[in-house]
Amino acid sequence: MKLRRLTLAGFKTFADKTEIELGDGVTAVVGPNGCGKSNIADALLWVLGEQNPRLLRGSETRDFIFTGSDRRKPLGMAEVRLTIDNCDHSIPVEFAEIEIARRIYRSGESRYAINGTQCRLKGIVDLFLDTGMGRGAYSFISQSEVDAVLSARPEDRRELFEEAAGVQKYRARKREALRKLETAEANLIRINDIVHELERQREPLRHQAEIAERYLSLTQRLRQIEVGVLVSEIQRADYELFAARRERDADIATVREADDRLAAMERQSLQVRERLNEAEAELEAAGISRQGAMTSVERAVHELQLNDERARSAETTAAGLDDDIRNLIASEQAAETAAQKDHAGLQRLEKAEHERRELLAEARRALEQAELAVAEAAQESRDRAQQQRRLLAERASREAALAACSARIAEADRRLVEIAQEIAAHSRMLEQARQAHAAACEQVAERDGKLQRLRAQQEAVEDQVRRAEDERAQAAAAADALRRKAVETAARLKTLEEIHASGEGLYQGVRSVLHAVRAGALTGEFSTVADALTVPERLRLAMEVALGSDAQSLICSDDQEARDAVAWLKAERKGRATFLPLNLLEPPPPLRHAEVARVRGAVGIASELVSFDRTIEPAVRLLLGRVVVFEDLDAAAAAARKLQGWRRLVTLDGDTLTPGGALTGGSMPARAAHLVSRKGEIDDLKRASADLAAQMASADACIAAAQAGLKQARSESERIAEQVAQSVSALIEARRDAASAERELASARARGEDLAAETHRVEQARERLREEETQWRASLAAVNDDDTAMDDDLARMQARADAAARTCDDARRRVAALDVEVGRLSEQVRAARAALARTERSMEEARASRIAKQAQREAAARLLAEAESRRLQLEADVATARARLAECEEVHSRWREERQRRLEESFSLTAAIKETTDRRRVTMDNLHEEELRIARLEVRLAQHAQRLADDYGMTMEEALAAPDPGDMDRDTVNEIVRLRRELRAMGDVNTGAAEEFRRLSERYEFLEAQRSDLQTASASLRETIAEIDRSTRQVFMETFDAVAAEFSRLFQRLFGGGQTRLILTDPDDLLETGIEVVAQPPGKRASGLALLSGGERALTAVALLFSFLAVRPSPFVLLDEVDAPLDGPNVEKFTELVTDFARDTQFLIITHNPTTMESAPRWYGVTMQEPGVSRVVSYCPANVVASSGGA
């Protein structure tokens, strides 16, 4: 199989029809970024059935249609065609060349075709199944997918191995088999329910068929005797019917006369009502006009008030503006005065500054003279000192020694004082260290206690989390159980409803009537007695026995519906049915509740023990009003002699007693869930379904509550865990502080000991120095005597020098003082200038505000003048509106009086109509009574006719022609009584039981055969699925081993060594296991793929992808910029690998790399000469040919 041609028209940037011929081997597609190269890859994927727009670099399918450019309009559709050479029939179809096409319109409509024949997407997907070219196959590889192969989850990476193993067809077959198995099992469950139901019905139905034969024999004899009795009843009813019809005709004539009179009065009343409506309309129009006039008056008054308010507001605004203008004028004048003052102060400060600068110059000249005198005195003192220096040398050395000794003594004294201070400070520090240590220890204890409490809370919360998880799991388990039960209940309910809807267990006639009503062949509403009743579960057996075949009687609203149904049954030959028309039923008085309640063992009157719609009460009272339900047979037998007027006594176990003494009872094995019981079970199942739904909702709420509780508990656990972590950090910090305090305390104690030792050493040294000082003082006294004369001379010289120095110091101080004062005055000058500038700005701002306020005052004056001018016009409008209101009031009053007069006329006519109507109603009541009498007689005749037709097969004419029953003898009457007693003793008999039993048996056998077929099919499907799983495991494992070997070989070829491993994440489950990839390039340790460099990852992915091609060659591979992350040497390795594989596989490579381009024998260049429109140019060794625009 080879790809021969790709044709694009309107797809993305390929606005023109473009054909790309694909030869054997390697074909490259090159071009600058953004020219549309990758759109070729998207087109291939798209035509092969890719449905995800994001995988085709779009957000929706309409993105694939050319969207237009500056020069071209958008296109309405896009189409891609792919032509495939199938000469080797790799695709299992008879065609040697296959063309698949896909087209999409802007409306979203999409079409697929194979060789011009329209098909579905599934047809194209199935065509390429297991060819290596389907969606998700490894034959379409982009740069992002290269890394995705390694970054994917192990389970997702498995898909590539499955594609290589060709197990997609197995998975498709398995999905189909699972779907068929699910359908078969669902059908089997349904058939099992139906078969189980039929099994419960068969045995009772067989027994009913045997009873029916005896019942029909007795009924035939009784029918022969009872025909004569019906004749007199028919004749008497026919005479009474004739008389009633004559009276009815007279009442009809009276009613017609009343109708004529009423019609005339109705016409007159209509005219009066028209005139009244006219008055009402005029009155309403007058009211609207009056309301409009009132609105106009109110609007004019409001406008006048609003205008006055505006005038007052303008006056107030003007007054306020006048005040503001006066205040601003005062502010402006004050600012001008302040500016004048500031200007005068500035002139004074500038004058003072000038004077002080002149004094400063004089002071500096005096300072220079003083400094010259000081220099002269110093020179004289230096001369005298030179003379004294020799004398003082000795004294200096001795004084130095004495000074040194004294200094050392002073230093010792100072050090002793310092040590004493240090000792005092140390005592305080020692106490502080003790307190800090104690506080730190206390804090450690406190935080340790807090940590213990938090850990206790954490354990409690974790217990709470575990309990919440258990509660959630229990709630989820309960919900699952409820859902399973709900599914079972729904299945059972569906089966019973289908059986009920099909009429299973009903007589043929009853079933036919119900089907005809649903089909629309009959009108009216019919329901069986069993469907109309709601019976408690414990009473269902008793009610089935009590009703017998009456459970299948059809309740309808009137006798006409019943007659229509009987006629339809006869015409269609659909059997017979008993009808209970509610308008004709005359049930006998029911048993007295109080009398039944006093009987021991009585459950109650049957009609009072069931629920039903009150509209069918006559039918229920007719059938069950004289039936009493008892706990057991003994209680029923004892009550049979006490109660009066009952028709049947039944027990909860299904035993019966009749007034004639017949007793029916015994065990009822395999009792059919028939009619009443089936209807009750359906009701129970519906209630159970509703209860289960409520319970599931409650369970879901419990799950939600448990989830919320779990979330809250986990949140609390996280919060406490965070607090525990913070507390642990705080405890560690406190312990660190305590250790630091302990170290400081130890250091302080050691320092105290050092200070005490140092004090002792310094005191000893000070005593030695004092002895040495005494010796030096004695030696110095001799030298001082010799120096006394020299000191006197030096004192006189020093006095002169001191005087010169004081004069110089005074001059310096005066210069410094004047300098400071000049600086101060300069600063004051700058401040005064700034103040003057601020004052001038304030004056300008006040002047501008005054001008603005004056402009506002002029505007307020204009508004006031306009308001005064408008007031005159508004007062005139108010006067006009009030005049219009007076006119409207007069018109409204006139029409109100006219309406009242016409109302009185209408009331008078209405009274006359009511009187005539009352007389007509009396006549109609009489007519209704006559019609009811006629209806009852007709029903009686119809009942007789129905009985004749149903029981004896005779018409009304044949019955009237029968002999007079008065000629019958007493033995015949006794025989009728005997036959009826025997028939009553037999109870309710299903006369169609034989036919029903035959039909049920046929259906049972048919369903048994179906069940057997389904069981066989299910077993076969399970075997097929198991065989598919075995084949899948075998093929997958063989492919896995082969890919692993090829991966290792290709990895070593591309990397020049190294090792690889493919690891199954779950070797025990080969159907679902993921696959991990471990790679070890040469010189590196084995590691996960995440630790490889980008180039290594790309090369590893290439090795893995080409290993799939080696194991299961694909006829075609598209590589979209796969070589982008590879460097030069690795690109060469990549191209060599592609060249090797190109002998068996077609390659289409989209690339930017020159090395890859050079390795391709042919390539296509994609350009975008026209903005937004791609154009393809094909390159061959001999020429370059444009291939777009219809090429």
Strand order in the sheet with 663-664: 602-605, 627-630, 648-651, 656-657, 663-664
Are the beta carbons of 1018 and 188 closer than 8 angstroms?
yes
CA distance 161 to 1099: 19
- At 941, the pLDDT band (50, 70, 90 cuts) reads confident
854, burial (CB in 10 Å: exposed 0-12, middle 13-18, buried 19+): middle
- At 933, the pLDDT band (50, 70, 90 cuts) reads confident
Of the listed ranges 169-173, 519-523, 883-887, 1168-1172, the least confidently predicted one is 169-173
Percent of the residues in the chain that have a pLDDT greater than 70, as a whole number: 87
Residue 330, helix vs strand vs coil: helix
pLDDT of residue 951: 64
For residue 1183, pLDDT over 70 is answered with no
pLDDT of residue 79: 94
CA distance 537 to 687: 13
pLDDT of residue 193: 77
1117 bridge partner residues: 1147
pLDDT tens column, 636-688:
888 887 777 788 889 988 888 887 777 888 766 444 446 776 777 777 777 78
Residue type, 593: H
132, burial (CB in 10 Å: exposed 0-12, middle 13-18, buried 19+): buried
Kindly write down the DSSP assignment for every residue of 768-807, as one continuous string: HHHHHHHHHHHHHHHHHHHTHHHHHHHHHHHHHHHHHHHH
pLDDT of residue 389: 67
CA distance 1157 to 1154: 5
Strand pairing class (97-105; 110-114): antiparallel
- At 783, the pLDDT band (50, 70, 90 cuts) reads low
Are the beta carbons of 455 and 753 closer than 8 angstroms?
no
Closest CA to 236 of 937, 936, 945: 937
Residues in CB range of 457: below 8 A, 6 or more apart:
720
CA distance 206 to 893: 91
pLDDT of residue 140: 76
CATH at 93: 3.40.50.300
Residue 717, helix vs strand vs coil: helix
> How would you classify residue 297: left for phi > 0, otherwise alpha for psi between -120 and 50, otherwise beta?
alpha
Percent of the residues in the chain that have a pLDDT greater than 90, as a whole number: 3
CA distance 1141 to 1143: 5
For residue 272, pLDDT over 70 is answered with yes
Are the beta carbons of 185 and 987 closer than 8 angstroms?
no
E strand or H helix at 29, and its extent?
A: strand 26-30
pLDDT tens column, 787-809:
666 666 667 777 777 777 778 77
- At 988, the pLDDT band (50, 70, 90 cuts) reads low
Are the beta carbons of 350 and 830 closer than 8 angstroms?
no
Assigned domain for 29 exists: yes
pLDDT of residue 113: 93
> CA angle, corner 890, sides to 884 and 896, nearest 5?
135
Find the helix packing angle between 143-151 and 1094-1111, rounded to 10°: 90
Closest CA to 917 of 262, 474, 223, 137: 262
- At 340, the pLDDT band (50, 70, 90 cuts) reads confident
Assigned domain for 53 exists: yes
Assigned domain for 402 exists: no
pLDDT of residue 101: 94
pLDDT tens column, 845-862:
777 877 887 787 777 777
Are the beta carbons of 619 and 585 closer than 8 angstroms?
yes
CA dihedral sign, ordered 832, 834, 836, 842: negative
pLDDT of residue 987: 65
Residue type, 304: L
Q: How many CB atoms lie within 10 A of CB 796?
A: 10
Residues in CB range of 634: below 8 A, 6 or more apart:
601
Are the beta carbons of 1068 and 1125 closer than 8 angstroms?
no
Domain end, chosen from 673, 698, 715, is at: 673
pLDDT of residue 763: 79
pLDDT tens column, 371-423:
777 777 777 767 666 666 666 666 666 666 777 778 778 887 887 888 888 78
CATH at 646: 3.30.70.1620
For residue 962, pLDDT over 60 is answered with no
Closest CA to 681 of 528, 489, 549, 515: 489
Cα 665–chain centre separation = 62
Assigned domain for 523 exists: yes
Residue count (the chain): 1191
- Higher pLDDT: 627 or 352? It is 627
Closest CA to 445 of 855, 731, 842, 79: 731
Q: Which domain holds residue 78?
A: 1-139+1114-1191
CA distance 657 to 1172: 98
Assigned domain for 184 exists: no
For range 549-561, the mean pLDDT:
88
CA distance 7 to 83: 8
pLDDT tens column, 90-117:
787 888 889 999 999 988 888 999 988 8
CA distance 369 to 1018: 135
pLDDT of residue 9: 93
CA distance 408 to 404: 6
> How would you classify residue 963: left for phi > 0, otherwise alpha for psi between -120 and 50, otherwise beta?
beta
pLDDT of residue 23: 83
**Rg (alpha carbons) of the chain, rounded to whole number:** 61
In the structure encoding, which two tokens stand for residue 287, read together? 């009211």
Assigned domain for 516 exists: yes
CA distance 605 to 1141: 94
CA distance 300 to 1013: 96
Are the beta carbons of 63 and 42 closer than 8 angstroms?
no
pTM exceeds cut of 0.75: no
Closest CA to 545 of 684, 649, 616: 649
Domain end, chosen from 673, 702, 726, is at: 673
Are the beta carbons of 323 and 799 closer than 8 angstroms?
no
Closest CA to 1062 of 1082, 1084, 1081, 1042: 1042
Q: Which of the 8 DSSP states describes residue 587?
A: P
For residue 280, pLDDT over 60 is answered with yes
Counted domains in the chain: 2
For range 492-498, the mean pLDDT:
72
830 bridge partner residues: none
Assigned domain for 79 exists: yes
CA dihedral sign, ordered 328, 332, 333, 335: positive
- At 629, the pLDDT band (50, 70, 90 cuts) reads very high
CA-based diameter of the chain, in Å? 200
Are the beta carbons of 941 and 234 closer than 8 angstroms?
yes
Q: How many CB atoms lie within 10 A of CB 926?
A: 16
For range 528-554, the mean pLDDT:
85
For range 1001-1027, the mean pLDDT:
84
CA distance 348 to 536: 122
Give the CA-trace dihedral at 424, 428, 430, 433, to 10 degrees.
-160
- What backbone torsions phi and psi does residue 556 show, to the nearest 5 degrees? -135, 170
CA distance 726 to 451: 9
CA distance 472 to 701: 11
Assigned domain for 813 exists: no
For range 41-62, the mean pLDDT:
83
Across all residues in the chain, what is the average pLDDT? 79
Are the beta carbons of 256 and 916 closer than 8 angstroms?
no
Domain end, chosen from 614, 649, 673, is at: 673
pLDDT of residue 770: 78
For residue 439, pLDDT over 70 is answered with yes
CA distance 351 to 372: 33
